[in-house]
Structure 1
Amino acid sequence: MKAAIISVIVAIVLIDGAFILTRSGDTGQTVNANNVSIVDGKQIIEITARGGYQPRKSVAEAGIPTIIRFNTKGTFDCSSSVRIPSLGISKSLPQTGSTDIDIGSGKLGTLQGSCGMGMYPFEVEFQS
């Protein structure tokens, strides 16, 4: 009986440990990631495209002319193809470099985009 109880406790500890180790602390959905700046009256949102988009969620101010700047460095996956369906934007990014996409003045709400295959999403939440 004592061996069975110890076995159950060890199993619980091992399973819990596996969950803790496999759970990622960084979901890629970091809000307030300091990737938004205003330069010469334009809001610039910096997003890195490689194996997805980082950060996956950005917070910006609505009503300001906005550029999303995608930075790539050795990007060979589908994140080099950006789609923002609500704005009719579809753009191929270079393997290495920066690409600015002018999205006009952001409207209140969430702007969603993804890679060309839809596997890697990103969003920009425009707030007042």
Structure 2
Amino acid sequence: MLSEAQVVQDRGAGPDLYGSASQAGVWATDKLIQAGGAWSIKIPSSIKAGGYVVRNELLALHDQNNPQFYPQCANFQITGGGSAIPSGVEGNALYSLDEPGVLYNIYEDQKKPIYKIPGPALFTG
């Protein structure tokens, strides 16, 4: 998440703070389909009021060794009374193409019990 001032300064670099909470044995796309295409996130109340950009991204792993990234961004205004200013992560530094979560083989690795979501740690503000 970036403040509007950071977006103007960084010319749209796409950070991500929150990632997604994982649930064992359930893919995020399955949850998205069940919810009719809607996805909700909770913005921590500790975040300072102002305009922000949040990046949401789906990662398709069906084509082995060719991950497909589907990012989307949303602008919104926080009106709460928090004081935390998230530092964000630049879009080109969210993850690397050699991370286990990006290279995960959905046809063979499901025998392994854990999928590690790629990207930075979640904001805990």
Q: What is the TM-score with the length of structure 2 in the denominator?
A: 0.27
- Structure with higher RCO (Cα < 8 A, 6+ apart): 2
Q: What is the TM-score with the length of structure 1 in the denominator?
A: 0.27
Tell me which structure has the larger Cα radius of gyration. 1
Name the structure with the higher strand share: 1
